[in-house]
Homo-oligomer: A and B are copies of this chain.
Amino acid sequence: MPQNTQRMPQTHPNPASVFDQGALAECIDACFECANVCSSCADACLGEREHLMHLVHCIRLNLDCADVCGATGRVLSRLTQPDLNVLRAQLQACLAACKACGDECERHAREMNMTHCGVCAESCRRCEQACGQLLGSMSAEG
């Protein structure tokens, strides 16, 4: 995580949060990384002129996942008076988007040897897992 992004939560006037601080920091970072990497993967796929026809579904899922992860990262990084229902539902949407995009990218990395899809699949899996752990810590609390 960029150093300053990591420092921000510690400077907040209301740092107490509904989440475990470590799990939250990991999830915010995973969301923003995944948003950026998915946007780059869509563009890299677009540049694969020879294979472009086979990458249409991947580009579509990349763009969806970039939008959903970006919104999730921004919502999670707000600490002032959060709404638990919104957080929970957006985390579930982010998990679904990362799973769909991660599955598709993983397939292209394996079958078509697309390195950018391999990196993107990693970022999707990391974000899917981070959302799952944050959701798990929420339901544990009630």
| Partner-B contacts on A (CB < 8 A) | 1-2, 4-5, 7-9, 11-14, 29, 32-33, 36-37, 39-44, 46-49, 52-53, 56-57, 59-61, 63-64, 67-68, 70-71, 73-75, 77-83, 85-86, 88-90, 92-93, 95-97, 99-100, 115-116, 118-120, 122-123
**Cα(A120)–Cα(B116), bound, Å:** 30
If A7-B119, A44-B12, A60-B46 touch, does A89 touch B80 (CB 8 Å cutoff)? no
Q: Are B116 and A44 in contact (CB under 8 A)?
A: no
Given contacts A4-B122, A36-B32, A77-B39, contact A86 B68 (CB under 8 A): yes
Please, which residue of chain B has its CB at the minimum distance from the CB of A8?
B40
Is A59 in contact with B37, judged by CB distance below 8 angstroms?
Answer: no
Chain B residues near A1 (CB, 8 Å)?
Answer: 2
CA of A29 to CA of B37, assembled, Å: 12
Residues on B with C-beta less than 8 A from A119 are 4, 7-8, 11
**Mostly helix, strand, loop or mixed at chain A's interface?**
helix
> Closest B-chain residue to A58, C-beta based?
B81
Residue among A41, A63, A71 with max Cβ neighbours from chain B (10 Å)? A71
Q: Is the CB of B83 within 8 A of A13?
A: no
Given A36-B73, A37-B4 in contact, is the A46-B80 Cβ separation under 8 Å?
yes
